[in-house]
């Protein structure tokens, strides 16, 4: 199995690129955002808890996200691997992922990090809110909180994965096709 992480701030284009990557390489795209939105739509206790946190621009607790990821890995064996989008977001989650994979003799193969400026994040998220009707994308204060949370809690993963030797930076302000071409060269 191959394990790739698609990394970057909100609005970097992870979801767009993930579709292309998953199709080309027969990977299961695991978007923690999509998994959480599914739980929220179903109105489960987990979904209701996640909805309150997400709408405030906060992250869902690690044990919830890790459990969802573990279940997804174990129930999907007919793919070449997995493309994680939105996980891990913290050093603690990265360590839990490494531990989970090591139990099966596996490891993260590559971290594909899409980089964009904060101004671009605001523009893209506002556009996404209009197109997809996502309430969590409509409020500027929520968007700023998500950006601040990304810088404070998620950016430290850059050094973590650089130390692991599997971190690759992809300039995310190019066209969709150019970004995808860069990703394919890395994979």
Q: Checking phi first, is residue 31 left (phi over 0); if not, alpha (psi -120 to 50) or beta?
A: beta
Range name among 16-25, 33-42, 70-79 with the lowest pLDDT average: 33-42
Q: Is 14 a catalytic residue?
A: yes
Q: What CATH number should be reported for the domain holding residue 108?
A: 3.40.50.300
Report the number of distinct structural domains present in the chain. Answer: 1
Residue with tokens 């506002």: 126
Q: Is the dihedral of CA 58, 129, 155, 67 positive or negative?
A: positive
Q: Is 37 a catalytic residue?
A: no
Residue with tokens 């197109």: 131
Cα 63 from Cα 4, distance rounded (Å): 21
Give me the DSSP letters along 83-137: EEES---SHHHHHHHHHHHHHTT----EEEEEE--HHHHHHHHHHHHHHH--GGG
Q: For 108-121, what is each residue's pLDDT tens digit?
A: 999 999 999 999 98
In the predicted structure, residue 5 carries a pLDDT above the cut 70: yes
Q: For 41-84, what is each residue's pLDDT tens digit?
A: 888 777 788 788 877 877 778 877 888 788 889 889 899 999 99
Percent of the chain past pLDDT 70, that is, above it, reads 98
Half-sphere exposure for 67 (CA within 13 Å, toward CB): 7
Which of 37, 128, 153, 162 is labelled catalytic? 128
Which of 2, 37, 70, 134 is labelled catalytic? 134
pTM: 0.81
In the predicted structure, residue 88 carries a pLDDT above the cut 80: yes
Residue with tokens 């893209």: 124
Which of 51, 89, 110, 124 is labelled catalytic? 89
Top mean pLDDT of 15-19, 48-52, 153-157 is at: 15-19
- Domain containing 37 equals 2-186
Tokens of 166: 């599997």
Q: Is 70 a catalytic residue?
A: no
In the predicted structure, residue 136 carries a pLDDT above the cut 70: no
Rg (CA), the chain: 16
Average pLDDT of every residue of the chain? 88
Residue 58's nearest CA partner among 49, 71, 68, 66 is 49
In the predicted structure, residue 89 carries a pLDDT above the cut 90: no
């Amino acid at each position: 199995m191959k394990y790739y992480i698609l990394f970057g701030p909100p609005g970097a284009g992870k979801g767009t690129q993930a579709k292309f990557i998953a199709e080309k390489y027969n990977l299961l795209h695991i978007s923690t955002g999509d998994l959480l939105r599914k739980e929220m739509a179903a109105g489960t206790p987990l979904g209701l808890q996640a909805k309150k946190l997400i709408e405030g621009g906060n992250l869902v607790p690690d044990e919830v996200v890790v459990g969802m990821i573990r279940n997804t890995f174990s129930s999907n064996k007919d793919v070449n691997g997995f493309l994680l989008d939105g996980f891990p977001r913290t050093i603690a989650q990265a360590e839990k992922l490494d531990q989970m994979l090591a139990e099966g003799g596996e490891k993260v193969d590559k971290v594909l990090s899409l980089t964009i400026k904060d101004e671009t994040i605001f523009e893209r998220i506002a556009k996404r809110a209009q197109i997809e009707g996502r309430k969590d994308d409509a409020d500027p204060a929520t968007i700023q909180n998500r950006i601040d949370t990304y810088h404070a809690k998620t950016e430290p993963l850059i050094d973590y994965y650089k130390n692991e030797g599997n971190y690759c930076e992809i300039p995310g302000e190019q066209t969709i096709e150019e970004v995808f071409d860069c990703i394919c060269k890395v994979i």
